[in-house]
């Protein structure tokens, strides 16, 4: 039976669900979904942006609707493009298909867009409505919007902790706090982001590989924050640097010999400024990532790195695995170190968007509220 809806809001939610299928495949492009409906909101065609550089969602939806698109309504999560990029302008395809009305979630803030797609459609006599299910569409594309608007990626922070909030036992041992099912989910996350980042404390303590196993739609660069460039040459990260990229961020004062040895082993070394505590400046680093058009960065710890990010207000989304274990001990590391805050009212507001049991653990995912948003759990 043909899918049908009662409101454009519902059609847009459906388009959002289609768009999610592009996650990990299309970045730094936005996730876009599109649906062609008739006057009774019955679906005539649908599509999503599936592969970076290939057909846009509107074109896919119009193609799947075929001739029935004439006189119909196109519901699309993002303003259609009107410029020649890697593909021809979507506005041309919309006009050629004979669409009568276009219902859009949000405008495209990219410099090359800026409302011109919508004005072109209005000038051609189409009815254009914008702002339908805008909150969901904004959430869908929060990483894309962050990159376009600030030149910095969306920061996912992930940690696995015991019931008493520890990410390692008193001796620094942390493998494994979470269940195999939870770790599988982490590998899925790694497989759709642009970078997976840890501090040198974690790189030395755990000697992690940080790859996605099995691989996902994209290969994340593995990043280590290592002021003095002391990452061991026999670490798993260095030994696999020729196969999966490793970027080591260090201070400009790091030993040239260390930098040369790491570079010789295939590690890309990026030297940058440090803050007044001698730690790598996070804001500068995120700007470097943004220049590479990294949209999603997954930070996997440890406590000090997560602390620096929390102190600077850089964490956008948290993925927390709560394991039914108790380790105790004053010296056992808490999930988020750094300077912290003196009073609870100053605490960062993260709002739950997903919670479920994964194996024997509880998975909690939340996003940071930055004014005006009200996500549901
Ligand atoms: N359960 C989990 O999910 C999980 C995940 C990861 C790690 N862990 C555990 O956490 C422990 C490691 O955590 P950790 O807190 O000791 O180390 P960490 O956060 O991995 O690394 C901290 C180090 O990174 C370097 N760094 C450079 N720039 C920095 C910046 N801007 N902010 C913070 N650090 C910066 C500093 O060393 P330099 O000054 O030498 O550069 C700093 O001491 C291990 O026991 C590991 O097993 C647990």
Tens-place pLDDT, residues 25-38: 999 999 999 999 99
- Asked whether 227 lines ligand 1 (CB < 6 A), one says yes
How is 246-313 classified by DSSP, letter by letter? EEEEEETTS-HHHHHHHHHTT-EEEEE-B-TTSPBPHHHHHHHHHHTT--EEEE---HHHHHHHHHTT
Six token digits for residue 80: 């259609």
Answer left, alpha or beta for residue 282, where phi above 0 means left and psi between -120 and 50 means alpha: alpha
Q: What's residue 375's pLDDT?
A: 53
Q: Specify the pairing of strand 195-199 against strand 127-130.
A: unpaired
How is 10-28 classified by DSSP, letter by letter? HHHHHHHHHHGGGTTTSTT
pLDDT in tens, 249-261: 999 999 999 999 9
Six token digits for residue 265: 């082993």
Identify the residue with better confidence: 60 or 115.
60
- Asked whether 287 lines ligand 1 (CB < 6 A), one says no
Rounded Cα–Cα distance for residues 141 and 107 (Å): 11
Q: Work out the percent of the chain whose per-residue pLDDT is above 70.
A: 98
Cβ neighbourhood burial of 322 (10 Å; 0-12, 13-18, 19+): buried
- Asked whether 208 lines ligand 1 (CB < 6 A), one says no
pLDDT in tens, 186-207: 999 999 999 999 999 999 999 9
In DSSP terms, which residues pair with 271 in a beta bridge?
A: 250
Q: What's residue 33's pLDDT?
A: 98
What is the value of pTM for the model shown?
A: 0.95
Rg (CA), the chain: 23
**Shortest-distance atom of ligand 1 to CA 301:** 6
Q: Which residue is catalytic, options 58, 79, 304, 317?
A: 58
pLDDT in tens, 140-171: 999 999 999 999 999 999 999 999 999 999 99
The yes-or-no answer on residue 252 being catalytic is no
Six token digits for residue 376: 């549901």
Indicate whether 84 pLDDT > 80: no
Q: What's residue 183's pLDDT?
A: 97
Q: What's residue 1's pLDDT?
A: 53
Q: What's residue 373's pLDDT?
A: 53
Cβ 25 vs Cβ 52: under 8 Å: yes
Q: How confident is the model at residue 176 (pLDDT cuts 50, 70, 90)?
A: very high
Q: Residues 89-113: what's their mean pLDDT?
A: 93
Q: How confident is the model at residue 100 (pLDDT cuts 50, 70, 90)?
A: very high
In DSSP terms, which residues pair with 247 in a beta bridge?
A: 223, 268
Q: What's residue 81's pLDDT?
A: 86
Cβ 73 vs Cβ 105: under 8 Å: no
- Nearest residue (by CA) to ligand 1, atom 10, is 302
Neighbours of 11 (CB within 10 A): 24
* Length reported for the chain: 377
**168 C-alpha to ligand 1 centroid (Å):** 12
Q: Residues 126-135: what's their mean pLDDT?
A: 97
DSSP reduced 3-state for 367: strand
**279 C-alpha to ligand 1 centroid (Å):** 11
Upper half-sphere CA count for residue 305 (Cβ side, 13 Å): 27
- Asked whether 308 lines ligand 1 (CB < 6 A), one says yes
Q: Work out the percent of the chain whose per-residue pLDDT is above 90.
A: 90
Q: Which of 207, 304, 335, 361 to mutate to test the pocket of ligand 1 (most atoms within 8 A of CB)?
A: 304
- Asked whether 336 lines ligand 1 (CB < 6 A), one says no
């Amino acid at each position: 039976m043909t899918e049908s809806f009662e409101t454009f809001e519902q059609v847009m939610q459906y388009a959002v669900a289609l768009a999610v299928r592009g996650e990990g495949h299309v970045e730094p492009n936005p996730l876009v979904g599109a649906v062609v409906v008739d006057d009774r909101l019955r679906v005539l065609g649908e599509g999503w942006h599936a592969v970076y550089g290939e057909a846009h969602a509107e074109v896919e939806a119009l193609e799947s609707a075929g001739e029935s698109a004439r006189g119909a309504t196109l519901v699309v999560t993002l303003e259609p493009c009107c410029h020649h990029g890697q593909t021809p302008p979507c506005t041309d395809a919309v006009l050629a298909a004979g669409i009568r009305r276009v219902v859009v979630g949000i405008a495209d803030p990219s410099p090359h867009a800026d409302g011109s797609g919508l004005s072109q459609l209005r000038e051609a006599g189409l009815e254009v409505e914008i702002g339908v299910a805008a909150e969901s569409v904004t959430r869908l594309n929060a990483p894309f919007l962050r990159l376009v608007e600030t030149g910095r990626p969306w920061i996912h922070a992930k940690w696995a902790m015991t019931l008493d909030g520890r990410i390692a036992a008193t001796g620094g041992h942390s493998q494994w706090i979470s269940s195999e099912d939870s770790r599988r989910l982490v590998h899925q996350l790694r497989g759709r982001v642009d970078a997976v980042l840890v501090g040198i404390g974690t790189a030395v303590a755990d000697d992690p590989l940080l790859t996605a196993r099995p691989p996902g739609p994209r290969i994340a660069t593995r990043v280590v924050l290592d002021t003095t460039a002391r990452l061991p040459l026999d670490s798993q990260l260095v030994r696999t640097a020729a196969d999966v990229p490793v970027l080591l961020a260090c201070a400009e004062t790091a030993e040239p010999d260390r930098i040369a040895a790491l570079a010789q082993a295939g590690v890309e070394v990026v030297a940058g400024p440090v803050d007044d505590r001698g730690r790598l400046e996070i804001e500068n680093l995120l700007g470097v990532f943004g220049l590479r058009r990294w949209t999603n960065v997954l930070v996997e710890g440890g406590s000090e790195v997560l602390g620096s990010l929390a102190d600077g207000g850089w964490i956008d989304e948290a993925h927390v695995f709560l394991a039914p274990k108790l380790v105790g001990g004053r010296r056992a590391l808490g999930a988020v170190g750094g300077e912290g805050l003196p009073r609870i009212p100053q605490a960062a507001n993260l709002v739950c968007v997903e919670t479920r049991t994964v194996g024997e653990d509880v998975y909690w995912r939340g996003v940071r509220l930055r004014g005006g948003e009200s996500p549901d759990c």
